[in-house]
A and B are shown apart, each in its own frame.
Chain A
């Protein structure tokens, strides 16, 4: 690869870093209006919903059932009260067994 690759990498690094760094540094010590901070406090749960669905159904291209089983396993284990790492390992185990049997 020629030098353009490294220029591109520099550009990618900058445009990825800027949205991460500006809010964290510029908003430090600033009091935001209650409405704004209310919305910002809602973001984590809204983003989790958006990150999980619909992508969790498409983890295996063309196999909706696979994602559905994984999703059900993850929610079931989580609702049973397991901590995050158990949810992760448990869901992997369920799908590993499933694909060994039916894959």
Chain B
């Protein structure tokens, strides 16, 4: 089970590689030591928040505001872990409290789209260990070597995590209209929020996800009622 999890998490590890490397490099140019940069990846483990924190640190923003901003960016994980809870095998809360640390957009996507009815705790542990290992290791490597990948490879690898999301979504879309609507509405609402600049990214993803999930649920409830009448 654990090994299967490692295998399923490999795409995440590949996707994190260029992002963590760049994070380590940027942290160095922002004046953080190797240990300070790596410690952020060890203790926080949240890509978007860490990048934003770097930008804010170099601008001299109050650390309290940086923490608040981190919270806002991560509020969407309330929704993801509530959803993941329906998918995971029931287990002791202390075990769930441990693997909860490793729930990111990416590990959530891998776990929540599994075909099996319930996902094993050890499987989740495997996915998270390899994703987390890649994130922490390549943060340190990025800081130490202080250089980036060749430009063409860096550019090409920037697609990795999105390609992974596509690779997870498409098999579920086949022959399942509800999944297609969910993804479509999620994409459309997020795009509208992004282009109009109404909400910042963390909120926009949260609103788009919840909006789509509720909308489709209401639509399907209506259709079911209609077919019964």
A15–B68 Cα gap in the complex (Å)? 8
Most buried by A among B33, B81, B165: B165
By a CB distance below 8 angstroms, the chain A residues around B144 are none
With A47-B108, A84-B164 known to touch, is A15 a contact of B100 (CB < 8 Å)? no
* B190 lies within 8 A of chain A by Cβ: yes
Say whether B93 contacts A25, CB under 8 Å.
yes
B159 beta carbon closer than 8 Å to chain A = yes
Residue from B84, B112, B163, B187 within 8 A of A92 (CB atoms): B163
Chain A interface category by residue count: 35 or more
- Contact A19 B81, beta carbon cutoff 8 Å: yes
Chain B interface residue count, CB cutoff 8 Å, equals 98
In the complex, A60 Cα to B156 Cα: how many Å?
A: 9
Smallest Cβ-Cβ distance to A32: which chain B residue: B86
Which residue of the partner chain A has the closest CB to B174?
Answer: A79
Q: Are B153 and A96 interface neighbours, CB within 8 A?
A: yes
Separation in Å of the B78 CB from the closest CB of chain A? 4
Q: In the complex the two chains form, what is the Cα distance from A4 to B61 in whole Å?
A: 12
Contact B63 A8 (CB under 8 A): yes
Chain B residues contacting A8 (CB-CB under 8 Å) are 53, 63, 66-67
Dominant secondary structure at the A interface: helix
Query: With contacts defined as CB atoms under 8 Å apart, how many contacts are there between chain A and chain B in the complex?
Result: 292
What per-residue 1/0 map shows which CB atoms of A52-90 lie under 8 Å from chain B?
111110011000001100110111011101111111111
Please report the C-alpha to C-alpha distance between residue A29 and residue B93 in the assembled complex, in whole angstroms: 10
Cβ of B75 to closest chain A Cβ, rounded Å: 6
> How far, in Å, is A96 (CB) from chain B's closest CB?
4
In the complex, chain B residues whose CB is within 8 Å of the CB of A46? 182-183, 185-186, 208-213, 216
Other A-B pairs beyond A1-B31, A22-B81, A91-B163, 20, CB < 8 Å: A8-B63, A9-B40, A9-B44, A15-B70, A16-B49, A23-B78, A23-B81, A27-B85, A41-B83, A42-B213, A48-B109, A50-B186, A50-B189, A70-B159, A73-B163, A75-B166, A82-B167, A84-B8, A85-B14, A99-B155
Q: List 24 A-B contacts (CB under 8 A).
A: A5-B63, A8-B53, A8-B63, A12-B44, A19-B78, A21-B101, A24-B85, A41-B83, A43-B209, A44-B108, A45-B113, A46-B216, A47-B105, A47-B109, A50-B204, A51-B109, A51-B162, A54-B190, A67-B159, A74-B162, A78-B167, A78-B169, A92-B159, A96-B153
Binding site for A on B (CB under 8 A): 8, 10-11, 14-15, 31-33, 36, 39-40, 43-46, 49, 53, 63-64, 66-68, 70-71, 74-88, 90-91, 93, 96-97, 99-101, 103, 105, 108-109, 112-113, 151-153, 155-160, 162-172, 178-179, 182-191, 194-195, 204-205, 208-214, 216-217
A residues in contact (CB < 8 Å) with B? 1, 4-13, 15-17, 19-25, 27-29, 32, 35, 37-56, 59-60, 66-67, 70-71, 73-75, 77-79, 81-93, 95-96, 98-100, 103
